[in-house]
Each structure stands twice: as structure tokens, then as C-alpha cells.
Amino acid sequence: MKKILLTAIVIFAALNARAQKYSGGLIDKTVAVVGNEMIMLSDIEEEVRMSRLNGAYIDENSRCRILENIMQSKIFLMQARLDSLTVNREMVNAEVTSRMDNARTALGGDEELEKYFRMPVYKLRQEWLSQMEDMSLTQQEQSEVAGKIPEITPFDVKRYMDTVAVDEIPIVPIKYQYSQICIYPNRDSAALACKEKLLDIRQRILNGERFATLARLYSEDPGSSRKGGELGMASKSIFWPAFGDAAMSLKKGMISQIVETPDGFHLIEVLEKKGDMFNARHILLKPKYSDNDRVRAFERLDSLKARILSDKISFDLAARIYSEDPATRTNGGQVADPVSGSAYFDIDQLKPQDYRALQNLEPGQISDPISSLDNEGRDGNEVYKILKLDKIIPSHKATPENDYTELLEGVRNIKRQEAIDDFLDKKIKETYIVIDPLFSDCEFSRKGWLEKITKD
């Protein structure tokens, strides 16, 4: 034990002796040792730069929180290695590629990326690959620790309800269960009109008019239209595949044919290409639907509603026969969350147009026809629908009788967090840890860290 302790102290002293300056004049040095894992000041500063790049606010306590998070990760990482856990290479490579592409796009290319992180791209990728490998092991170990809790039983839920303070009982928000019958406007006709307009714009560009001027006049992409359609240097991977492939196939100054994506229809002009990155202008047009489309759809929906209310057909059967939404038609129109599969929706999960139609209905009532959006593309496509409120669950304090599943998951999460807290508190006591006095004023969330700070 003494030999291990002495070795760690020697390592810490040697690394402090090797402290060096890095870009900006800051002195880089080891600020913490957790077991045989060293944490450099530059590691913290890199996390600060990454947080700023992602738009996070950095305050006076941010570096303390970052250091504590890194130290906790090191404890999980060491245990993961002892447990012989293996890295998910496919996930790690995908995560690093995504991180690189997003950073290159946000900063404007490889040169700016190197300036911002103060190292060559290949070295940055290597560092992030190493970090993501460690993160993969850390997350697996966290899951291992949390997964060792005993199976939660009804007795655990009852004991929680018996011991928790009344004001700490979870509040279940109001939930809606509803069904819909959808009719889409004439997409083919609208798409054709959109393409014809783009072909006219393309010909005007080929005849000598400036792409940027026409983008300002006609493009329906608010983010780029005011900049003459320019998107900025970005990785191909962040665009819809059809858009990225079309842009990469163009030579500088060439104008694309019409490119269709879930956002609409585009004309593209490439300004610059570097590797798999490009800067391009585009003009986006989205299909427009006429008042006649809306009137015809509303008339059909009104007719269906009348037939349902007169008991000539059930809502369920009408949805199966007439609805044009494949996701709900086979379920008799009942809407389900595409991720969780739940048929119950909180207010913030509902589209604003749908909520406005549902909020004044009683269970069993059917709304008037409304214009709403589907889940396609970034913003959704226009769709017309009538909604039936199937059931409403008012907001209330959770009870085992009505909300057992939610309470069960809540108790499970509490037990998982307790297991992680117990693991970390125990490991902080047992593990050789040294923290630089530079962080002596930090308000760490775990008191055990304070005992590991060296004295000046």
C-alpha cells in the first residue's frame, strides 16, 4: 500500500515539474490525480472551449464542475478497466465523426478548428477518440453500477409513498389521448408549381442574374436568404443526404438541377469545397397550397364529422378508410408518440395547432377541421385534420392506484442514483486522489473531494 502511495506521489510531483506553457500564456500542469489517471489544466480548458462552442454559459464555478465531472469519470473508468469492459468502437467512431463535423461547421473549417483548439485536426481527432473511448467505458460502468439495484417491487413503491413528504410527491401533468383523421392537400400539384418557379429562377441565373440577389428575393430559408443564400463552410454530413451529395458533385460556380429534400426544393451553387466540406448558396422553395385545397379538405372533413355524429360511421372506421396518415390510420386514428409508443401526451408534446383544437373538447367530442403539421422534415408539412378527444387525465399528485408505472420508474431512478452516489463516495475514500490547491475554493457536490486537496 505504501509503495503504491509513494509511486502516485512521485508521478504527481514529476508531472508538476513538467508543467509547461501553452497557447495564450496559461501554464499547463497536472491539477488532479485519481488513482493512476492524471487530469491536466488543459483538459479542463478544452472542455471550457467545447462548452462555449456549444453555446453554454461559463461562470466562475464552471471549471470546478468540469473538474469534478472529470474526476468522477476517472473513477468509473478505472473500475470499468478492472471489470474488463470493452469499448463500443462503432458508437465511438460515429460520435467522434459527428463531433468533428459539428465543430468544423460551427467554426468554418479545419483551419479555424485548429486555431480554436490549438492543435492539428489529426491530433484533435486522436484526443477526442481517446476521450470517447473512455466515455464509452465510463457510461457502461455507470450502467453496471446502477443496474445492480434489486428489482423494484410494489412494496418499494408503497414505502416510498409512505415516507416521502407530501410536497415531494410527483405531480403528473394533464395528459391527452386523442385520435385524428388527416387529409393532405394536393402535393403533386403544389410540387409541380414549386419546380416550375425554380426552373424559371434557374434560367434567370443562367441568363446572368445574380444567384445571391434572387436568393434574397425568393428563398424561403430565413437563416440564409438574408445572406444571399450562403450557408457557410460546413460538413456534408450535417445536410440532408440528397442536398450534400448534389453539392459535392458540383464544380465551383455551377448551378444544380432542382434538388428535393424533406425541407422542400432547392437550387444550389457551390462557392468552395475542401475535402468533405463545402460552402454553398441555395434557394429554397416550399410547396404552397391554395385556398381551394383547404376548402375542399375542410368540406370532406366536415362531411365525415357529420356522418360520425349521426352514427352512420364510427370515428375508428372512418379513420381506417379515409385518413391519409399511414402512422395512425391502421390504429383507427389513435395517435401515439413515435419514440415511446405512449398514447398519452403532455401539453408540451402536442403541436400547438392540435392543442388549441383539443383544449376545449370534452372526451368523445370531435373538433372542427383544422390546419396542422405532420412530423416530416424539420418543420413538418401542412395537413388538414379533425381530432377526437378520447380521454383526458387531469393534473394530479401521483397515486399508486392511477400512476403506478410512473412511480415505479421514479423509485427506480432514485435507487439508481443512490447506488451511483454510494459507489462514488466509497471510491473517493478508497482511491488515491490529489487535487491541486488551485481548486481549494470550489464547492464540490461531494464533500469527499475537499479532503483530497493538497495544502499550499
Q: Is residue 382 part of a domain?
A: yes
Are the CB atoms for 172 and 396 separated by under 8 Å? yes
pLDDT digits (tens, 9 = 90+) for 210-265: 999 999 999 999 889 999 999 988 889 889 999 999 999 999 989 999 999 988 99
> Which CATH number do you get for residue 257?
3.10.50.40
In this structure, the answer to whether residues 195 and 179 fall within a common structural domain is no
Query: How many domains in the chain?
Result: 3
What domain range is 281 assigned to? 188-285
Phi, psi of 325 (to 5 degrees): -100, 105
Structure confidence by residue, pLDDT tens digits, 347-400? 999 999 999 999 999 999 999 999 998 877 666 788 999 999 999 999 999 999
Q: What percent of the chain has pLDDT over 90?
A: 64
pTM across the whole model: 0.63
Confidence of residue 3 (pLDDT cuts 50, 70, 90): very low
pLDDT value of residue 446: 92
Is 210 found in the same domain as 339?
no
Cell of 278: 463545402
- For residue 399, is it within any domain? no
Residue 90 DSSP symbol: H
Instruction: Indicate the pLDDT class of residue 110, thresholds 50, 70 and 90.
Output: confident
pLDDT surpasses 90 at 13: no
**Do 319 and 179 share a structural domain?**
yes
Whether 277 and 311 share a structural domain:
no
C-alpha cell at 11: 508521478
- Residue 203: pLDDT band (50, 70, 90) is very high
Same domain flag for 337 and 360: yes
408 in a domain, yes or no?
no
What does pLDDT average to over the chain? 88
Query: In this structure, is residue 169 part of a structural domain?
Result: no
Helix (H, G, I), strand (E, B) or coil at 72: helix
- What's the confidence (pLDDT) of residue 378? 65
Which residues contact residue 408 at a Cβ distance below 8 angstroms, ignoring those fewer than 6 apart?
152, 157
In this prediction, residue 6 carries a pLDDT of 30
DSSP 151: P
> Is 156 domain-assigned?
no
Residue-wise pLDDT tens digits, 394-422 = 999 999 988 898 899 999 999 999 999 99
In this predicted structure, the answer to whether residue 118 has a pLDDT above a threshold of 90 is no
| pLDDT tens digits for range 310-342 | 999 999 999 999 999 998 999 999 999 887 788
Distance of CA 427 to the CA centre of its chain: 32
Q: Is the pLDDT assigned to residue 10 strictly greater than 80?
A: no
Distance of alpha carbon 10 from alpha carbon 240, whole angstroms: 53
Higher-pLDDT residue of 317, 49? 317
Q: What is the mean pLDDT of residues 23-29?
A: 63
